[in-house]
């Protein structure tokens, strides 16, 4: 089986050094295809130069080929069985025109809760759209989505053996959508230290919560990648997940990252059927679903209770489940399977 994994124009390298969503998913699918015994071509010019000589790279983007006969002929002669691509592309006419001439399957994962697709972008069989949660699948019901957990990976992020760490960790972009202030307040209620890992995207939001963010129990780590990011998960007692009341999580990488490191999750959700519900079970974490009308203090108190419950879970068992549930080979095989 020959698989083409397509990059796309963006601000992150492939695979990204730290933060990233679609980029980390694309890299995970490439790793999974390899693990499943498929041949893999990395299509597009943005793949990093330090991947090693055993990765076959073709610096061409399908949307740029047009009628250039030499590149189009080379793509056709490769005889791809499957193209894996970011969710924007099946609705991009220039990309679609080239992809359709190749006669292969196309698979993508919906990483945005608001992107609108063309009516005929997917058929649920040869052109497949995957969604993480029931909430996301309902949003894209007209495109016959397949519900599947997303797996994300960065370069050199192999997980070490689990360990019962100390304190709490929150990982993500720091902005009003992700609401780390709720995790910080929950940690304060419990008298626990919390590490905040990730880039600050919203300085106005950070300013509004400056008192909490500058509290003594908070350690700002910044953005991490590779083995340093993996250790940040592994070295914590519990990973704390939050988001705002009006935000829809399309498919957070952090669930798989935390569980593969053996760190149980305490998660706050505002609706049923979210990514939290899809990713977790009673053996891997504790989740609380609240009425969006409750205030922040009530939410933090409920989250603190979830943290206490998650802290009782054995890290070794959490890692065993996480490595199975968020396995790159299993994920690729799900993407490659025709319904």
273-296 residue pLDDT tens: 999 999 999 999 999 999 999 999
Does 145 lie in the same domain as 50?
yes
pLDDT at res. 19: 66
pLDDT at res. 273: 96
Q: 11 vs 325, which has greater pLDDT? A: 325
pLDDT of residue 107 exceeding 70 = yes
Does 179 lie in the same domain as 278?
yes
Span 50-65, mean pLDDT?
92
pLDDT digits (tens, 9 = 90+) for 243-262: 999 999 998 899 999 999 99
pLDDT at res. 260: 96
pLDDT digits (tens, 9 = 90+) for 18-46: 666 789 999 999 999 999 999 999 999 99
* CA neighbor of 130 nearest in space, from 143, 116, 114, 115: 143
* Whether pTM exceeds 0.85: yes
The SS3 of residue 205 is helix
Span 153-171, mean pLDDT?
88
* CA neighbor of 296 nearest in space, from 172, 213, 185, 170: 185
pLDDT at res. 158: 81
pLDDT of residue 163 exceeding 90 = no
Total number of domains constituting the chain = 2
Q: Is 337 contained in some domain?
A: no
Q: Look up the CATH number of the domain holding residue 94.
A: 3.40.50.2000
* CA neighbor of 242 nearest in space, from 215, 270, 214: 270
> Domain range holding 105?
2-154
pLDDT of residue 305 exceeding 70 = yes
Does 231 lie in the same domain as 144?
no
Question: Could you tell me how far CA 114 lies from the centroid of its own chain?
Answer: 16
pLDDT at res. 14: 85
Q: Kindly report the average pLDDT of the chain as a whole number.
A: 94
Structure confidence at residue 67 as a pLDDT band (50, 70, 90): low
Per DSSP (E only), the strands in the chain are 2-6, 39-43, 56-58, 82-86, 105-109, 127-131, 146-147, 168-171, 194-197, 218-222, 238-241, 265-269, 285-289
Compute the distance between CA of residue 235 and CA of residue 169 in angstroms, rounded to an integer: 9
CA atoms within 13 A on the CB side of 38: 25
Does 53 lie in the same domain as 185?
no
Q: Is 193 contained in some domain?
A: yes
pLDDT of residue 11 exceeding 80 = no
pLDDT of residue 161 exceeding 90 = no
In eight-state DSSP terms, residue 160 is P
Does 181 lie in the same domain as 145?
no
Q: Is 161 contained in some domain?
A: no
Span 153-182, mean pLDDT?
91
Q: Is 129 contained in some domain?
A: yes
Q: Is 144 contained in some domain?
A: yes
Show the tokens assigned to 279: 């990713």
Residue 15: cis peptide before it, omega within 30 degrees of 0: yes
Does 109 lie in the same domain as 65?
yes
Compute the distance between CA of residue 241 and CA of residue 265 in angstroms, rounded to an integer: 7
Span 321-336, mean pLDDT?
97
């Amino acid at each position: 089986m020959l698989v083409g994994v397509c990059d796309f124009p963006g601000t992150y390298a492939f695979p990204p050094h730290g933060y990233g969503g679609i980029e980390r998913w694309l890299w995970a699918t490439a790793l999974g295809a390899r693990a499943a015994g498929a041949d893999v071509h990395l299509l597009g010019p943005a793949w990093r130069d330090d991947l090693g000589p055993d990765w076959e790279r073709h610096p061409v983007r399908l949307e740029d080929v047009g009628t250039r006969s030499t590149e189009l002929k080379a793509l056709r002669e490769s005889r791809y069985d499957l193209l894996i691509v970011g969710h924007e592309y099946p609705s991009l006419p220039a990309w679609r025109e080239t992809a359709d001439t190749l006669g292969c399957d196309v698979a993508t994962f919906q990483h945005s809760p608001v992107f609108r697709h063309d009516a005929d972008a997917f058929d649920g069989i040869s052109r497949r759209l995957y969604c993480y949660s029931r909430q996301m699948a309902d949003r894209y019901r007209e495109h016959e989505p397949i519900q599947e957990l997303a797996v994300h990976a960065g370069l050199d992020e192999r997980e070490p053996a689990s360990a019962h760490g100390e304190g709490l960790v929150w990982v993500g972009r720091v902005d009003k959508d992700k609401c780390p202030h709720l995790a910080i307040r929950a940690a304060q209620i419990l008298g626990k230290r919390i590490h905040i890992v990730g880039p600050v995207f919203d300085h106005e939001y950070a300013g509004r919560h400056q008192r909490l963010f500058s509290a003594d129990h908070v350690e700002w780590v910044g953005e991490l990648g590779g083995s340093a990011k993996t250790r940040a998960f592994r070295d914590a007692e519990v990973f704390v997940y939050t988001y705002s009341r009006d935000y829809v999580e399309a498919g957070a990488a952090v669930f798989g990252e935390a569980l593969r490191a053996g760190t149980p999750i305490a998660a706050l959700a505002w609706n049923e059927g979210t990514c939290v519900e899809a990713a977790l079970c009673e053996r891997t974490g504790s989740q609380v679903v609240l009425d969006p009308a409750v205030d922040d203090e009530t939410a933090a108190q409920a989250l603190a209770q979830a943290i206490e419950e998650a802290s009782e879970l054995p890290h070794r068992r959490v890692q065993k489940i996480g490595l199975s549930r968020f396995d790159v080979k299993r994920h690729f095989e799900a993407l490659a399977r025709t319904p």
